A = this chain, B = another copy of it.
Amino acid sequence: MDTGDAAWVMVSAALVLFMTPGLALFYGGMDRTKNVLNMLMMNFWCLLIVPVVWVVVGYSLSGQNPADFDNKFLGSLDFIGLKGMGIGGEDGGALLITMVFLGMFAVITPALISGAVADRMKFSAWAIFVPVWLLLVFVPVFKWVYGGWLGSRGSQDFAGGTAIHVNAGIAALAMVLVIGKRKGWPQEGHPPHNMPMVMLGTGILWFGWFGFNAGSALGASGTAIQAFLNTFVAAAAAGLAWAVTEKLRDGHFTNLGAASGIVAGLVAITPGAGFVSGMSPLYIGLIAGVVCCFAVGLKTKFGYDDALDVVGVHMVGGLVGSLLIGFFSSPDYFGTENKAGLFEGGGLGLLGEQALANGATLIYSFVVTTLIALALKHTIGIRVDDETEQNGLDLAEHAETAYHGTN
């Protein structure tokens, strides 16, 4: 493996790993003092269980080993325990570091869901949910999109807009529909307990997202550079759009608006990061910022308690970005195997494929996630009791308190 490519993929993998603690802080800061450790632990749990499941069986089933490229729905069991994979081959470890890089995505995808179920999900249920959902939802959808039936039809997803954000976002919706609303929601609400923590998390997320998107080029290539540039511009544009929308609508530029917009822009540019160029990332960011700013209001309208807006930011942002590929995809730079979008001289074909890929993901993920949630609900239970919810999950679920003052 070329050393420059190896260096870039390793750095990118490290950056994506760092995103999960960043996400934990982003969510944890928005949460209340009494639940922040539960939020952190839901995210750290993904950091503990997913890598193990991934190297043992998840990677193999995800069908990302070239030997499984013919499969269209699932990988195989040929690579459980990384059988036969090493750095000694002639690829010098390229396959192995790709496996690790993808493993980082496997970590953060279920972690995204934690923001929706905040403040009321039993940790034991979460502990089981994560590996089960990983194998039953993340792994197949990932295969479909990358080298599977959706991808081969012609839909595009550079770094995981469909496979990760739409997938996690719709799963979050399924979860909150089964789990139900937090007590008192939406009459009462609770402002973020620690906004600087939210902003720190945002900074880490943006920083790490350069690895997420530009690392997905799997080398330090021109495509990586374009993805890097797009990640920079789209995040800023979306943050700007969200902040300005709020200023016009509510009267103030807010930190949470800036942070939310940045994340929405990062989500929206993810699917197209390596397929669009020029000012397209600017437009994608601006659109995503405005759309997501309004989308987070849907939960009160429709009455699903998506506590920290996983649906409004990740599902909607992912959909927006993924569909916009149908307009902005520019095959010039990225090779003709990629279709052109409507604005780049292509027809509606790509848009149709994008719609199909996302539609299939939405349906499959929603159905299977609902079934997992129901199974948990009717066996070990999925929701803490009222007293735990009132007093906070940190103490009851983890026997820990976030802040100890008088000592």
Q: Which residues of A contact B (CB under 8 A)?
A: 1-8, 10-11, 13-15, 17-18, 20-22, 24-25, 28, 32-34, 36-37, 40-41, 44-45, 47-52, 55-56, 81-82, 86-88, 92-93, 96-97, 99-100, 103-104, 123, 127, 190-197, 199-200, 202-204, 206-207, 210-211, 214, 219-226, 228-229, 232-233, 235-237, 239-240, 243, 250-256, 258-259, 261-262, 277-279, 282, 332-333, 397-405, 407
Contacts and interface: CB of A to CB of B under 8 A. Distances in A.
A161 B41 CA distance: 28
- Copy count, this protein chain: 3
A44 B399 contact: no
A48 B195 contact: no
Contacts of A332: 86, 88
A233 B400 contact: no
Contacts of A232: 13, 17, 51, 100, 103-104
8 contacts: A1-B225, A3-B220, A10-B214, A13-B210, A45-B243, A47-B258, A87-B223, A191-B404
Contacts of A87: 222-223, 225-226, 277, 333
User: Which of A81, A194, A228, A262 is the most central at the interface, judged by chain B CB atoms within 10 Å of its CB?
Assistant: A228
User: Which of A20, A40, A190, A232 is the most central at the interface, judged by chain B CB atoms within 10 Å of its CB?
Assistant: A232
B4 A193 contact: no
Contacts of A190: 404, 407
Nearest to A92: B222
Given A51-B236, A232-B100, A193 B405 contact: yes
